Structure 1
């Protein structure tokens, strides 16, 4: 069958988009969306599959892995293409995001004389906070390499700067600079010095519990999707029977414990911003779950058990 591929372009007067013919491809009657994208890429090298967003005349998005017949696309049909621009793999994005805080915390903690003009004798809180934060982001890098399976292969290249800025600046540079400063070490900055060993142990214990729990939920999500597929299923088990995204919930618990332990405004800022972002993600994805799965548990909350 022959399929026409067109691109919508805005008119100068700002009216509705006008289609512009790009090319025509020939495929088998049983062809899939992936085969159509590959055929387009063959004719237009710049438009590799991850850079293409294909829709029908009624704006239904063609999903990878689906048959074209599912969308009533046959001989002579017209498909509309949007160029999503340069893309970058999600796994690479995660590597870039998490390496920033690792670098900032390592250098600011270990080379205090270059940063503050003096050698800092770190307090117990600073030492433990450094270990916990480094462990957190190293864990995230290892999960990226060995645990996560991504439903989407890529994202727009430009977005990596926005995503990385959140981690590199808020949980990296800003947090590390204030957390390891001489004023924080001697307790004159925001009363950050915690002298009670019992409370210190409590916060460390909560942080480690949340980190381990977060890892368990990530492994659960990994096991839902067979390798090389985009399969989506209802997650169940540890944490998931209470909320749709226990991985976000345990992340919030971990950073709340670290914020209480350090009494750092920089840590509080990152916690507030991160919690707001995870709340927005959780609510959006929770609605998607409920729409996608008619039997999705009605009592399950999005982010906070029994509350939200």
Structure 2
């Protein structure tokens, strides 16, 4: 079969009908699958990222790729492709920016409202303790780093997600690490039984907060190193995957970026001494653990040369 031969791909909606979906699309068999996505997007008025294409013969997905050809997927003349409308989409980069913006707004706001002498909501004579101010600085540094990485470092394997999911995704950060942690960390009551962070005598030079700041710095620094290494595995503008190796911990742990993320939050917990930070770290750790297990399975499936790791997130433990 000539690689320049034109074939006709038959399209059928999967699920609800898609207005203006053509019954068929003629394309050279050597065309990339991205050309099929582009043609269908133009006809339907949707973006290519809103469409999901699967082969009618076996239900396997067709990637929106500039390097995968129609011929290589097994499509032939008059092959059926099912088209699903995923609904309105939002860019993953935008999702992350919105998620991390919550704590960056909420922590300074509650710190000002509850501890500033000029605030009508703060008791007279109340001043922020050293640990409360240090806690604010660490949280803001953490999420400012996250925002910078989202813009300048991360390269995403998927361009978009359903727009309706942004509320659910943002709730984890806006409500847990934002509102919950901030409310109790910046309590104006020095007799607050929930956290010792408000005590006037508490100092960042005490052994426990100093250890927390050191753990935070190490965790954030090594987390950045892992993100840079992961980013360099994927050439700009592609969805290529690679096997991360070497420093730090890639030979022992599947996702050391999650390891160092938890280390940073452990450091913050030692500084602000609030149960709410522990709650957020536990929820985040459980979520990252599930992601790490999925990534381990994906590595083993995609790369025959991949060496299974002893741990997915916490060395020698999990």
TM-score, with structure 1 as normaliser: 0.91
Match in the other structure for 1:206 = 215
How many Å apart are 1:117 and its aligned residue?
5.5
How many Å apart are 1:187 and its aligned residue?
5.7
Match in the other structure for 1:24 = 24
Structure-2 separation of matches of 1:74 and 1:115: 70
Match in the other structure for 2:92 = 90
Structure-2 separation of matches of 1:72 and 1:291: 20
Mapping of residues 49-198 of structure 1, within 5 Å: 49-57=48-56, 58-65=58-65, 66-112=68-114, 113-116=119-122, 120-183=126-189, 185=190, 188-192=193-197, 193=199, 194-195=202-203, 197-198=206-207
- Is 1:235 aligned to residue 244 of structure 2? yes
How far does the alpha carbon of each residue in 1:67-111 deviate from its partner, in whole angstroms, 9 at most, with x for none?
Answer: 111221122111001111100001000110001100001111123
- Is 1:221 aligned to residue 230 of structure 2? yes
Shift of the 148–114 alpha-carbon distance from structure 1 to 2, 3 Å rule, reads farther
Shift of the 134–118 alpha-carbon distance from structure 1 to 2, 3 Å rule, reads farther
SS in 1 for 2:62: coil
Match in the other structure for 1:13 = none
Shift of the 168–125 alpha-carbon distance from structure 1 to 2, 3 Å rule, reads same
* Contact 1:53-1:82 at 8 Å conserved across structures: yes
How many Å apart are 1:51 and its aligned residue?
0.4
RMSD after superposition: 2.0
- Is 1:261 aligned to residue 263 of structure 2? no
SS in 2 for 1:81: strand
How many Å apart are 1:182 and its aligned residue?
1.2
Structure-1 separation of matches of 2:157 and 2:15: 29
Structure-1 separation of matches of 2:173 and 2:101: 9
List alignment gaps of at least 5 residues for structure 2.
1-6
Match in the other structure for 1:281 = 291
Mapping of residues 27-46 of structure 1, within 5 Å: 27-45=27-45
Match in the other structure for 2:317 = 307
How far does the alpha carbon of each residue in 1:95-153 deviate from its partner, in whole angstroms, 9 at most, with x for none?
Answer: 10001100001111123235545564111111111111000000100111111111110
Structure-2 separation of matches of 1:249 and 1:286: 14
Structure-1 separation of matches of 2:291 and 2:177: 19
How many Å apart are 1:199 and its aligned residue?
2.1
SS in 2 for 1:182: coil
How many Å apart are 1:236 and its aligned residue?
1.0
TM-score, with structure 2 as normaliser: 0.88
* Contact 2:254-2:311 at 8 Å conserved across structures: yes
How far does the alpha carbon of each residue in 1:49-71 deviate from its partner, in whole angstroms, 9 at most, with x for none?
Answer: 00011001211001121211122
Structure-2 separation of matches of 1:104 and 1:279: 27
Of 250-259 and 95-104, deviating more is 250-259
SS in 2 for 1:6: strand
Structure-1 separation of matches of 2:141 and 2:192: 24
How many Å apart are 1:263 and its aligned residue?
1.8
How many Å apart are 1:188 and its aligned residue?
4.0
